[in-house]
Amino acid sequence: MPLVYDELRRLATARMANERSDHTLQATALVHEAYLRLVGPVKAQHWNGRVHFFAAAAQAMRRILVENARRKGRIRHGAEQRRIDLDTFDVADENASQDLLILDEAITSLAQDDETAAEVVKLRYFAGMTIAQTAAALGISDDAINRKWAFARACLYQTIYGDPED
């Protein structure tokens, strides 16, 4: 754990930077929850190296954030009510959880058409990997990653915002 904790913390901090400012989940808690899911007692995991471990960690963090956003969206958890701090009120932050759910649905939809492109999005966006690191993780060339990344962004944009001509 000491060998990977700082890197996991960096990934979690990067993910949490995109969340609302009053988010109840903090980067440290996200790291700990992801780590428990990765090495928990359910089954033994075998990692094919550092990149494979961090890709799995990014996936675990994504799932935790999506589950948290879904939980917050439930009526019994105050889905209709919003906490507003008048001193730091920021209109742009209100839809962060909803945006994460929309992005998750778009990635799921993309995975049905092109699983590799969806994996590229997960590794680039959620794990913060570079093109070279993503290529190494998936075992394909940098050029192929660039093409998949461009394709995935276009598909996600179209899924989220719709066809500009409609």
Higher pLDDT, 135 or 79: 135
Neighbours of 42 (CB within 10 A): 8
Please name the residues in contact with 73: beta carbons below 8 A apart, sequence gap of 6 or more.
79, 97, 98, 101
Please name the residues in contact with 91: beta carbons below 8 A apart, sequence gap of 6 or more.
none
pLDDT band (50, 70, 90) for residue 140: very high
Decide: helix, strand or coil at residue 70. helix
pLDDT 10s digits, 54-67: 788 888 888 888 88
Q: Per the domain annotation, does 166 fall within a domain? A: no
pLDDT 10s digits, 108-128: 999 999 999 999 998 888 888
Q: Residue 56, CB half-sphere, CA atoms under 13 Å: how many?
A: 15
Q: Which amino acid is at 161?
A: Y
pLDDT beyond 60 at 5: yes
Structural domain for 22, as ranges = 2-161
Rounded to an integer, the average pLDDT of 76-103 is 55
Higher pLDDT, 88 or 86: 88
Total number of domains in the chain: 1
Give whole-number Cα distances, 111 to 46, 59, 106, 116, in Å: 24, 14, 9, 7
Rounded to an integer, the average pLDDT of 91-111 is 74
Q: Per the domain annotation, does 7 fall within a domain? A: yes
- What torsion, rounded to 10 degrees, do the Cα atoms 138, 48, 100, 160 define? 20
pTM of the model as a whole: 0.52
pLDDT 10s digits, 148-165: 999 999 888 888 887 655
Rounded to an integer, the average pLDDT of 132-148 is 92
Decide: helix, strand or coil at residue 61. helix
The pair of structure tokens assigned to 68 is 């948290």
The pair of structure tokens assigned to 144 is 């192929």
